[in-house]
Amino acid sequence: MFKETIKQSLNEAKSAREELSHKSGIIVGRPDPQNKGLYLSNYANCLLNRQIDIFDDAIFLLENNRIPAACTISRGMIETYAFSKLLSKKVTNILANKTGEESVEDSLQLVMDFTNSSRWKESEQKKISKGIFDPKDYAFTEQAKHRFENMLAGSEHVMNALRDLYKDELKHTNGKESQFEITYDTLSEWVHPSQTSVFHNYVPETHEVPTSMGIIHLYDGAKMSCARALHFIVDSMNVYNWTIELSDEITRRGKEQS
């Protein structure tokens, strides 16, 4: 029964994946007054592409019995899905509560913040400000130097997106504990050098795990967590279409102001 549930969940996810295809990602220059939503639609394309690639790679690993690696990859599906959904929720909030040029410009700024989100760049700026390294010792573009000098880099922390995802789930289920969070935390045990990924993984005597459903193999439990994570792709197209609709609305409002 446990293995049948895993199989069913993965089959549903695979069916949804067959309906998806990669989208073109492009470099977007200065805002075009006739297509200001391009920033958002382009980023939506890239987010969907990442979900597709994560799914394909995780399925390949699962089908080749590379379970720990599959867990590591699968966790990224939850993060990317949550990230894309939070972006659309924030843009929706701006468009619902603001009008005209203000709504367009605030939406564009939000999209740029998400697009340019980089913990590495943010950390790099801090190191420069603390004198850990001197940017003069390296070759940087003028844009990078401008970013350093003005501390412009920022990072949209993925935990913000995850917390919002868990909150939405609990609103829907009226539950006290998020199953999405349990899945994420379980996969995190495989991502990190923890008891599960190190000791349990490499000690066969620990693989038979007593549970309320009976004895379950460690790897079957891991497969279930992967299946739950990868199942988010079932809703990926809905979020993508939502984001494209928001992009179209930004473009429409931008044209009205030009």
Q: Which residue in 79, 85, 62, 82 sits closest to 220, CA to CA?
A: 62
pLDDT tens readout for residues 77-110: 999 999 999 999 999 999 999 999 999 999 999 9
Domain spans of the chain, in order of start? 2-17+33-116+157-253, 118-155
pLDDT tens readout for residues 23-68: 999 998 888 889 999 999 999 999 999 999 999 999 999 999 999 9
- pLDDT at 124 (0 to 100): 80
Distance CA 111, CA 148 (A): 21
Statement: residue 153 has pLDDT above 70: no
Distance CA 158, CA 57 (A): 21
pTM of the model: 0.91
Task: Please answer whether residues 95 and 44 qualify as being in contact, where contact means their C-beta atoms are separated by less than 8 angstroms.
Answer: no
DSSP character at residue 32: P
Indicate the residue type of 85.
K
Calculated CA dihedral for residues 41, 42, 45, 50, nearest 10 degrees: -130
**Residue 65: left (phi > 0), alpha (psi -120 to 50), or beta?**
left
